[in-house]
Structure 1
Amino acid sequence: MAEKIRLFGRGSLVETSRIAAILRTETTGGLLLVGAAVAALIWANTPWSGTYETVSDFQFGPAALHLDLTVAEWAADGLLAIFFFVAGLELKREFVAGDLRDPRRAALPVAAAIGGMAMPAVIYVAINATTSGGAPRGWAIPTATDIAFALAVLGLINTHLPAALRTFLLTLAVVDDLLAITIIAAFYTTSLHPVPLLLALIPLALFGLLVQKRVRHWWLLLPLALVTWGLVHASGVHATVAGVLLAFTVPVRRRSPGEGPGLAEHFEHRWRPLSAGLAVPVFAFFAAGVTVSGAGGFGDPVLIGIVAGLLVGKTVGVLGSTWLVQRFTRAELAKGLSWWDVLGLAVLAGVGFTVALLIGELAFGPGSDRDATAKLGILVGSVLAAAVATVVLRGRNRHYRELVEEEERDDCYEN
């Protein structure tokens, strides 16, 4: 008799321990991200906003290599490549050696990620289909979940939610990131230069050859990674794609039991603190500084589409996809869980920030009026999603805390 499928069931001990360590890092990074975004928003709306713009627009870098970029562009094109490198490592490890190598376990977060991206896009397009000025180009803005921001909300709640739910949110966001980078490469590449893109395959292949031989020397790997990044940037494809491509070449499995951590795990351990603690907060600081008076009003279709996509689209997409998986696989929720838990996570998935801001800039152009409106929509939608999710999850948090306290009382009486 086939084993009954349990949605949000407990994973293996090794995988649960690893996910717990990731969650701690991402939660801290999320708090830094929120702090950076708030600081930028305040600065951009003070009498000293000109200083913020001056710093953001300061250009440096070798012009001969077409890398004379502004500080904001270095943050978006350079630092976010680190973020996507780590996301790529995590995704590959999940599907090669993690619990998601089992198709039955993978089906739920993959379906939830797809549904959670499709519904916000549909809602945004429905609201902006007839809007002029290129507004429909922003259809992908509300599709991305920001795992760091979402986990920061969970950390502030001090949640007693089962670890499986938090693991689900993390995995959903990782798959979400892969889909987002695919969308960026496919739909937001305005001009493609094939020669640099083909040349990028050379350092990428050398990088892959070295890591397959388990070479860890940074002085060999880092120059190859930088050349790959530079050539992808020159090709017209967004440079963050290079981070994912490099990550996918890194082997996950160890060659022998006594070898120690796999190379993907080793790189992830080294680069995740830099990604969560520096790359993402710095990008948020230079991307979130929107002047509220310069953005469109709250009746702007772009803003409405983004807010509705994040708050309603994400909730319906994630919750609906989860229900469909349960319906067609005849699976059951893990013991003790409720659909209220799933609803809370679905709403929390509407916290979109890092990738949403990036797509907004690609869709409308950095510094444009539409980009400012998109940023305001992302901020409003994310804050509303975080607030509604907090209300739902605080109720569930109270429920699980009471269960824990009841078990502790029972233990006391038994002893």
Structure 2
Amino acid sequence: MTRTDGTNRLASWLRKDVVSGSILIAGAVIALIWANSPLEPAYEAIRTFSFGPESLHLHLSVEAWAADGLLAIFFFIVGNELKQEFVNGELRNPRRAMLPIIAALCGMVVPALIYAVINMSRGAEALHGWGIPMATDIAFAVAILAVIGRYLPPALRTFLLTLAIVDDLGAIIVIAIFYTADLAFLPLFGAFALLAVFGYLQRGRGIAAALDRSALPNWVVYVPLAFAIWALMHASGVHATIAGVAMGMLMRTRKLPGEEHDPSHRAEHLLRPWSSAIALPIFSLMSAGVVFDGLGSLFTDTVALGVIAGLVGGKFVGIFGGSWITTKITSAELNPSLKWIDIAGMSLLAGIGFTVSLLISELSFAANPVELAHAKGGVLIASLIATVLAAAVLGSRSRHYRKLGLAPVRTDTAGGSID
């Protein structure tokens, strides 16, 4: 076997969700053990080490580069995959696309209300954390689904991706409005302007043909443009991963005459192994290291209890209940390959709140270290409970579909045919 063959085999292996999911989970477990061990000072030293150009406001910690920078690659892939579904796949049907979108909105409102009710008697400071249980961590949720649900219908993964993207967009809007003191509009408008350029380059037939004919590879144009969009989005105060989602959704999914593959599938095929091997594991290793300190007091604090109840119970009630009611009062419909028990398991899985939930915790209780620790602990405990419950339900459903003779779901890049 040649070196090229070995590289291609490794890349194909890394394109599978079950592989990237396992690596992501392993990184989180290592981070938790490391952060709660005698080697915790070394972990903090690495995580807080800062580098980057100060003049561009990009002198960031390793943790920030992982969560804002590397994770944008993963979000690009997710946005790109959703674009393919909206154009050529499951979400072409508006009646089916409507369901996860409404479910996401309900899955944001109900957890926030549950948190607010539990903390109503605590005053404004505790209530400030109402946004913490709103967010579903798409990276971990998709990873868990890949590991435990190989035989589940593909439509369930699409439902989860759509729901989680809408959920994250909603959470970013909440952060921008309620948790950001100074949103910088000039960089934000600059990011939007360059996104328009990015979209035009995708669709301009003459430009696409000129790039293909030129001696320069396409990445010479698109990589600097993508970095500029990301940097401007970061400078605006909006979570920079939104730049990844936006660029993914702008990718062209149809081939032009003379093209062997469209840019959407080419980009996904190229970037997915890098996301699995570098972006996601470094992100989980740098983000998951939460120190558990004082577990006894955590379970008596309404902040932690509100976060746990919101993520575990609120997400389930909001998503499952919102989906079921929507199908009864609107024209929205559930994919025929899915059963309501599948949606129930996926609703439990959506209770995994990690990156954005921890971010909102930091913004909510920056001046109160005790409540901050309790909020972060609540996020981790809720995520663990949600994972266990979802694994029980979805694992059982996966075994059920396997007995019915369904083939395991392909989770490599669309078709896996680009070499």
1:146 paired with 2:137, answer yes
2:144 and 2:290 mapped to 1: Cα distance?
22
Normalised TM-score (structure 1):
0.81
1:86 and 1:398 mapped to 2: Cα distance?
28
Q: For residues 189 and 88 of structure 1, do their structure 2 counterparts lie closer, same or farther at Cα, with a shift above 3 Å needed?
A: farther
The worse-fitting range, judged by mean Cα deviation, of 334-343 and 101-110 is: 334-343
Q: For residues 387 and 130 of structure 1, do their structure 2 counterparts lie closer, same or farther at Cα, with a shift above 3 Å needed?
A: same
**Number of the residue aligned with 2:89:** 98
2:183 and 2:234 mapped to 1: Cα distance?
10
**Number of the residue aligned with 1:163:** 154
Deviation at 1:330, TM superposition (A): 7.2
1:209 paired with 2:194, answer no
SS in 1 for 2:16: helix
- Residues 185-334 of structure 1 aligned to structure 2 (within 5 Å): 185-213=176-204, 214=208, 215=211, 217-256=218-257, 259-293=259-293, 297-329=298-330
The unaligned stretches of length 5 or more in structure 2 are: 1-11, 212-216, 407-419
For these two proteins, the number of residue pairs brought into alignment is 384
Q: For residues 25 and 190 of structure 1, do their structure 2 counterparts lie closer, same or farther at Cα, with a shift above 3 Å needed?
A: farther
1:379 and 1:233 mapped to 2: Cα distance?
26
1:118 paired with 2:119, answer no
2:285 and 2:128 mapped to 1: Cα distance?
24
**Number of the residue aligned with 1:62:** 53
SS in 2 for 1:340: helix
2:13 and 2:330 mapped to 1: Cα distance?
30
Is contact 2:112–2:130 with CA below 8 Å preserved after alignment?
Answer: yes
Q: Which amino acid aligns with 2:25?
A: V
1:343 paired with 2:352, answer no
SS in 2 for 1:291: coil
Deviation at 1:369, TM superposition (A): 4.2
Q: For residues 323 and 174 of structure 1, do their structure 2 counterparts lie closer, same or farther at Cα, with a shift above 3 Å needed?
A: same
2:339 and 2:192 mapped to 1: Cα distance?
48
Deviation at 1:313, TM superposition (A): 0.8
Deviation at 1:273, TM superposition (A): 3.1
SS in 2 for 1:134: helix
2:63 and 2:77 mapped to 1: Cα distance?
21
Is contact 2:172–2:238 with CA below 8 Å preserved after alignment?
Answer: no
Measured against aligned partners, the alpha-carbon deviations of 1:80-119 in whole angstroms (never above 9, x if no partner) come to 2223323332333333333312211212222222222221
**Number of the residue aligned with 1:179:** 170
Q: Which amino acid aligns with 1:291?
A: V
Match of residue 83, structure 1, among 51, 71, 74: 74
Q: For residues 172 and 193 of structure 1, do their structure 2 counterparts lie closer, same or farther at Cα, with a shift above 3 Å needed?
A: closer
Deviation at 1:150, TM superposition (A): 3.0
Calculate the aligned-residue CA RMSD, in Å.
3.1
Q: For residues 95 and 219 of structure 1, do their structure 2 counterparts lie closer, same or farther at Cα, with a shift above 3 Å needed?
A: same
Q: For residues 180 and 271 of structure 1, do their structure 2 counterparts lie closer, same or farther at Cα, with a shift above 3 Å needed?
A: farther
Deviation at 1:324, TM superposition (A): 1.2
Q: Which amino acid aligns with 1:280?
A: L
Deviation at 1:315, TM superposition (A): 0.9
**Number of the residue aligned with 2:5:** none
**Number of the residue aligned with 1:28:** 19
Measured against aligned partners, the alpha-carbon deviations of 1:389-414 in whole angstroms (never above 9, x if no partner) come to 22223443444344449xxxxxxxxx
Is contact 1:90–1:174 with CA below 8 Å preserved after alignment?
Answer: no
Measured against aligned partners, the alpha-carbon deviations of 1:214-267 in whole angstroms (never above 9, x if no partner) come to 3561122111222222223223333233323433443333334x5233323322
Normalised TM-score (structure 2):
0.80
SS in 1 for 2:202: helix
SS in 1 for 2:200: helix
2:167 and 2:151 mapped to 1: Cα distance?
25
Deviation at 1:384, TM superposition (A): 0.7
Deviation at 1:121, TM superposition (A): 1.6
Q: Which amino acid aligns with 1:385?
A: A
The worse-fitting range, judged by mean Cα deviation, of 291-300 and 377-386 is: 291-300
Q: For residues 131 and 264 of structure 1, do their structure 2 counterparts lie closer, same or farther at Cα, with a shift above 3 Å needed?
A: farther
Q: For residues 243 and 393 of structure 1, do their structure 2 counterparts lie closer, same or farther at Cα, with a shift above 3 Å needed?
A: closer
The unaligned stretches of length 5 or more in structure 1 are: 1-20, 406-415
Deviation at 1:365, TM superposition (A): 4.2
**Number of the residue aligned with 2:63:** 72
Deviation at 1:133, TM superposition (A): 7.0
Measured against aligned partners, the alpha-carbon deviations of 1:31-79 in whole angstroms (never above 9, x if no partner) come to 2221111111111111121111111111211222222211112222222
Q: Which amino acid aligns with 1:255?
A: L
Is contact 2:96–2:335 with CA below 8 Å preserved after alignment?
Answer: no
Q: For residues 147 and 243 of structure 1, do their structure 2 counterparts lie closer, same or farther at Cα, with a shift above 3 Å needed?
A: closer
Give the % identical residues: 50
SS in 1 for 2:293: helix
